[in-house]
Chains A and B, each alone.
Chain A
Amino acid sequence: MNKLTVFAAGVCTTFLASAPFAFAAEKLTFYCSAQEEWCQVVSNGFQDATGIDVAMTRKSSGETFAQVKAEASNPKGDIWWGGTGDPHLQAAEEGLTEPYVSPMRSELNDWSISQATSADDKTIGIYSGALGYGYNTELLAANNLPEPACWKDLLKPEYKGHVQMANPNSSGTAYTTLATIIQLFGEDEGFEFMKGLHKNINQYTKSGSAPIKAAGRGENTIGIVFMHDAVAQAVAGFPIKVVAPCEGTGYEIGSMSIIKGARNLENAKKFYDWALSADAQSLALQVDAFQVPSNKGAKTSPMAPDLASIKLIDYDFVKYGSSDERKRLLKKWDDEVSVLPQ
């Protein structure tokens, strides 16, 4: 008889039978938005500390936010750790994340807790870093350019084609830059600044730290990035000098959130508490992550930019993190700045 129908069916059924073998261990699905190595140590560190199996995905904070939002009706992730605070705040605003008050709060810096209270405890600060820029000393010398020290220096015509920043539409870092400039100079003057800067930009990159990486490789001269990213390039051996702009600068608060509807909520809370501990935060040093940890007791690197010595603005996370304001500013930037000839 025709066994063949079985075969025909095989075509469409066998591949569905390739489901994974899994074991009934305690587990945690971990979305990580910091750099790969850091995610790895954190993931392994938690696994070692608790015996809970961690499945980690590393994606940028924008990508992770997109994923969490796409999965909102059927969450796959449990905890989201790292990445700039805005998408975390946005997730909190849109009810994608779960409120939690950790017993570890007494050990944290104030900025970390204020991040939490501004979002109804749906997110919390785990590290922070100031915005700035870095330049390739060799290229600067080769092109006989002066050393920049302030934001306004970047508008000088001699830097034309030498400055790189990310596109604020695709990168949280670049949006922080836009928001910082507006808070420093006011909205009108801030946009004039962005228009002036636009003339000197050689490329708006997609990813936030790409400008300084390009500068490290000698493919770009000045990159507007978070200072800890620039420091990491310098430590890696590239000829990069880090600049804290003289007018003052904005900063990010790297955050952590528990995803609403997490399938392993208890484990997510365990991770949350662990990630706020001094030991967990000291892991950053192993992987050359030079952000400032939120736990007061965590070790810091001497290479890390000292937030105390940098002139920081009073960054309004609530206002500039809200999706309405964000959309308005991005649209304005799109319409008024990005269309200008370079």
Chain B
Amino acid sequence: MNVKRLQEPAQLVLIFWIIIGWAGFLILPWYVVEDGLFSFDWLYDGYPFDTDYAPAVFLITQGEKFWLAPLLAPLVAVLMAIGRKKSDPLYPTLLIYSGLFGFAWLAFQGLGIGLRGWQFDWLEALFGPLDDRQFGMGYGALLLAAAFLFLFTQGIAARGAINGDVFVVSAIGGVIAVVSIFVFFPIGKMLVAAFITEDQTYSIAVFFSKFLDDRLWGISCLTGGGKCGVGWNSLFLAILVGFITTVLGLVFALVVTRTTFKYKQALRALTVLPIITPPFVIGLAIILLFGLSGSVTAFFADLFGVQATRWVYGLPGVLIAQTLAFTPIAFLVLIGVVEGVSPSMEEAAQTLRASKWQVFRTVSFPLMRPGLANAFLLGFIESMADFGNPLVLGGNYDVLSTEIFFAIVGAQYDQGQAAVLAIVLLAFTLGAFYAQRFWLGKKSYTTVSGKGDAGVHPSMPKGLAVPVYLIATAWAVFTVIVYGMIVYGSFVELWGVKNTLTFKHYITAFSFRIEDAGIRWTGAAWDSFWTTIKIAGISAPLTAALGLVTAYLLTRQTFRGKSAFEFGTMLSFAIPGTVIGVSYILAFNVPPLELTGTGIILVISFIFRNMPVGVRAGIASMTQLDKSLDESSLTLGANSWQTFRKVILPLMRPAILAALVYSFVRAMTAISAVIFLVSAEYDMATSYIIGRVENNDYGLAIAYSTTLIVVMLAAVGSMQLVVGRTKIGRRTSQSGVTV
């Protein structure tokens, strides 16, 4: 069958991409159109001759931007492939070399010539001074780049890679291209920025002087007196948070799966809350409870007749807030694992007369190791990247994420410093990532097989059940109090000072008028609210699509460099948002890709921040689908695209929806990367809320956050209704949708 496919001329796809390429070259404006392509003003404003709007061909024929001319060669060359058979040796050669040369030249001229002419000294030395410049690439360049890329992949496929499967090769090529451009390129830019001195030269000494600075690695807190370096602070905090959230997450997972606890559903609902809570809100509630004038602090100060202190500012406050915020993530990871431990094994151990405690210690717990490691890693990374809580509660306990922010926006303005700090942060998270893999080793933890698996989990040993119940109840009560405070806070005049109830904050934020011309959104929050919904709505399906295609490639296809491919796509998971934000500013503020200040950069940052979760969800559910399904589809004559669309996709509905919900929610609550990327036109809800918090306008900030929580609850709820629950054996799975 594959042989047959190799021989038919792949005309349609080939011609399609050739047309796309020529359209990019001949018709669409080559450079970015300032008002956006879809305003179509450019059509009446000197197109196609005005340099700002001209397609590449008009630029060249008018004697401008001569460096675009070589692009014509591969475009003409590929025309010769039309009509040839795939088996013709010239066919792949033509496509591969044209695609490769075209794409490489496009990248080279884009990087080489910028706003001030030559970007590199050696180019100037080689060709002499250049009295011209260019702006960011626009849709013309974009189409042409895509065309070159996919012509290249068709060439590779025609050579016989992956059985000549054009879809798979193109998907691999596409994912590699976008991940390189939007993950590796910015990170690389940032690494370079760490070596730049004040007078724009490169120096390793500068890097090391910043890298080895006492403020990063000082240990004077151990010897008494001074402060420890922010590097240590971050590391210590992240390890603590990772450990505590893992333990708590395990406790809840055990309560939900292995006890007859009556209020399991309520507990589950509580765990969703922190995930859909915008940043800062938990921090504010904690100040109100434990701050100098907080109710709990005041109560105990009265009780013991001591002076109230600012004890919560610093490590304790950040720790409480992060534990509260990230425990649910650990819980959601662990519940699947705790549930997935096959009861058959536990029953076998019991049959061999192991006590309940022995079963737990020697069978159940060791099998949970991957989950525990994952949960720890997540808690660790989230804590490292967290920006909101340290900002509100950090006191003098500085951590890397806030230091990075203030290195960029502070009075000193030092991008190099920010880059160095970001590298340290990245090193920590990647280190944790590898430590986790090392700890898990190559042991098998698989317990769910296709074989009969009809047991029910044993209940926990008593000695474990009692503390588990106690901890779970205490945490639940605490969460209820915190969220009660939050809702209450949105309805009072002036939190902590004037406690009269009012709708004032909601009216300020969300008022509207109905006029002849329709509804006029007069509230202060509407702008950022709609932007947020729009950006989240656009990025969620794209994230899910990219994630699932990648997951499909990773689980269903084998190709060379697959492990590197996997690492690349999962890398952005270990990169904290602050680092993404900084690197995106450094990479995308200047040509060839000029994206700062647009909504697109926000969408892109969300896609690549959240993609790994889509990949993970996809992999998890695809490994559950037996490969024989694909094979029967292929045997019946369907190609890989048809199999993907008609067989695999329908079976993966839960994973798709999980990815959709997750990326939607994250796009609405993320702050660490967003704070660097918002602009006048595209302000996001979270950055607006920060502004309110900075301004002491807690009422409005909390009213807005409460509204967002309700909106997201509605979204998550409707998703759960649509997906329903999956059942494995006699056990009712609790992991329908992992948010």
Does A23 contact B39, Cβ atoms closer than 8 Å?
yes
CA distance A172 to B412 in the complex (A): 10
Bound-state CA distance A210–B394 (Å) is 13
Closest to A212 in B: B696
CA gap between A56 and B640 in the complex, in Å: 49
CB pair B411–A206 under 8 Å, yes or no, is: no
A58/B10 in contact, CB under 8 A = no
Q: Complex Cα distance A11/B681, Å?
A: 25
Question: Complex: how many Å from CA A22 to CA B680?
Answer: 14
Instruction: Indicate if A175 sits at the interface (CB-CB under 8 A).
Output: yes
Which of B150, B396, B640, B680 is in CB contact (< 8 Å) with A9?
A: B150
Partner of B13, one of A5, A209, A233: A5
CA distance A98 to B195 in the complex (A): 31
Which of A60-68, A103-111, A245-253, A292-300 is the interface stretch? A60-68
Decide yes or no: A57 and B695 within 8 Å by CB, A1-B12, A2-B166 being known contacts: no
Known: A15-B600, A59-B409, A326-B411. 18 other contacts (CB 8 A): A2-B13, A4-B639, A4-B640, A5-B153, A7-B167, A11-B545, A12-B146, A19-B600, A20-B38, A20-B599, A22-B35, A36-B691, A36-B697, A74-B135, A168-B411, A219-B292, A220-B292, A236-B696
Choose one: A3, A62, A76, A330; the contact of B679 (CB below 8 Å): A76
B696–A11 touching, CB < 8 Å: no
Contact A74 B413 (CB under 8 A): no
Q: B641 contacts the other chain (Cβ, under 8 Å)?
A: yes
Among listed B371-379, B589-597, B728-736, interface-contacting one? B589-597
A1 contact set on B, CB distance < 8 A? 10-13
B669 close to A (CB within 8 Å): no
Whether A2 contacts B639 by the Cβ 8 Å rule is: yes
Q: Interface size for chain A: under 10, 10 to 19, 20 to 34, or 35 or more residues?
A: 35 or more
A282 proximal to B (CB < 8 A): no
Assess whether B307 is in contact with A203, with CB atoms less than 8 Å apart. no
Cβ A15 vs Cβ B409 within 8 A: no
- The answer on a CB contact under 8 Å between A40 and B524 is yes
The answer to whether A49 has its CB under 8 Å from any CB of chain B is: no
Partner of B596, one of A5, A19, A58, A71: A71
How distant is the Cα of A331 from the Cα of B121 in the complex, in angstroms? 33
Are A4 and B170 closer than 8 Å at their CB atoms?
A: yes
Write 16 A-B pairs (CB below 8 A) sorted by A numbering.
A2-B166, A4-B171, A5-B153, A11-B542, A13-B143, A18-B603, A35-B695, A57-B678, A58-B691, A66-B408, A74-B590, A209-B694, A213-B695, A216-B497, A236-B494, A340-B226
Compute how far the CA of A268 lies from the CA of B166 in the bound complex, rounded to whole angstroms. Answer: 53
Q: Let me know if A170 and B391 touch, CB within 8 A.
A: no
Asked if A169 and B410 sit within 8 Å, CB to CB, the answer is: yes
From the candidates A10, A19, A237, A330, name the one contacting B36 in the complex (CB within 8 A). A19
Residue of B41, B542, B692 near A15 (CB, 8 A) is B542
Please tell me if the beta carbons of A143 and B34 are within 8 angstroms of each other in the complex. Answer: no
Q: By the criterion CB–CB under 8 Å, are B292 and A55 in contact? A: no
Q: Does B538 contact A (CB under 8 A)?
A: yes
A6 within 8 A of B: yes
B549 at the interface (CB under 8 A from A): yes
Assess A204 versus B291: contact at CB under 8 Å? Given A24-B35, A63-B409, A175-B411.
no
For chain B, residues 12 to 67, give those with C-beta under 8 angstroms from any C-beta of chain A.
Answer: 12-13, 16-17, 34-39, 41
Contact of B167 among A5, A21, A330 (CB under 8 A): A5
Of the residues B10, B114, B598, contact of A2 by C-beta under 8 Å? B10
Number of A-B residue pairs having CB atoms within 8 Å of each other in the complex: 226
- Does the CB pair A238–B549 fall under 8 Å? no
The CA of A18 and the CA of B37, in the complex, are separated in Å by 10
Shortest beta-carbon distance from A73 to chain B in Å: 5
B313 close to A (CB within 8 Å): yes
Alpha-carbon separation in the docked complex, A35 to B694 (Å): 9
Output the nearest chain B residue to A233 by Cβ-Cβ distance.
B696
Q: Distance (Å) between the CB of A87 and the closest chain B CB?
A: 8
Closest approach, in angstroms, between the C-beta of B730 and any C-beta of chain A?
A: 40
For B310, list chain A residues within 8 Å (CB): 161, 202-203, 219-220
Instruction: Give the chain B neighbours of A330 by CB distance below 8 A.
Output: 411-412
Q: Across the interface, do A15 and B39 meet the contact criterion of CB distance under 8 Å?
A: no
Choice from A73, A213, A326 contacting B696 with Cβ under 8 Å: A213
Q: Judge whether A56 and B13 touch: CB under 8 Å.
A: no
The distance from the CB of B117 to the nearest CB of chain A, in whole angstroms, is: 12
Distance of B470 from chain A, by nearest CB (Å): 32
For B600, the chain A residues whose CB sits under 8 A away are: 15-16, 18-19
How far apart are the CA atoms of A13 and B170 in the complex, in Å?
A: 13
A20 and B36: CB pair below 8 A? yes
Minimum CB–CB distance for B371 against chain A, Å: 31
By the criterion CB–CB under 8 Å, are B11 and A206 in contact? no
Contact of B171 among A8, A216, A239 (CB under 8 A): A8
A9 and B35 CA atoms in complex are apart in Å by 25
Q: Report the Cα distance A36→B678, complex, angstroms.
A: 15
Cα A168 to Cα B598 with chains together (Å): 32
- Option from B293, B402, B542 in Cβ contact (under 8 Å) with A219: B293
Question: What is the distance, in angstroms, from B155's C-beta to the closest C-beta of chain A?
Answer: 12
Contact with A along B130-144 (1 / 0, CB 8 A): 000001000100110
B177 on interface, CB distance cutoff 8 Å: yes
List CB contacts (< 8 Å) of A210-231 with chain B.
210, 213, 216-220
A119 to B35: give the CA distance in the assembly, Å: 33
Known A20-B681, A237-B497, A326-B411; judge A4-B694 contact (CB<8 A).
no
Q: Across the interface, which residues of A come within 8 angstroms of B678, CB to CB?
A: 57
- Chain B CB within 8 A of A341 CB: yes
Residue B496 is within 8 A (CB to CB) of chain A in the complex: yes
Which of B135, B170, B597, B679 is in CB contact (< 8 Å) with A5? Answer: B170
A14 interfacial contact with B, CB 8 Å: yes
Whether A69 sits at the interface, judged by CB under 8 Å, is yes
Q: How far is the CA of A63 from the CA of B694 in the complex (A)?
A: 14
Residue of A nearest to B35 (CB): A22
User: In chain B between 277 and 326, which residues have their CB closer than 8 angstroms to a CB of chain A?
Assistant: 287, 291-293, 307, 309-310, 313
B246 within 8 Å of A by Cβ? Answer: no
What residues on B are CB-neighbors of A167 within 8 Å?
406
Within 8 Å of chain A (Cβ to Cβ): is B443? no
Is A141's CB within 8 Å of the partner chain B?
no
Give CA–CA (A339, B213) in the complex, Å.
Answer: 13
Given contacts A5-B17, A55-B681, A73-B590, contact A216 B696 (CB under 8 A): yes
B175: chain A residues at CB < 8 Å are 11
What A residues does B293 contact at CB under 8 A?
139, 217-219
Residues of A within 8 A of B641 (CB): 2-4, 7
Contact check, B549 vs A4: say whether CB atoms are below 8 A apart.
Answer: no
Q: Is the CB of B524 within 8 A of A62?
A: no
The answer for the CA separation of A14 and B13 in the assembled complex, in Å, is 18
Partner of A6, one of B16, B34, B173, B178: B16
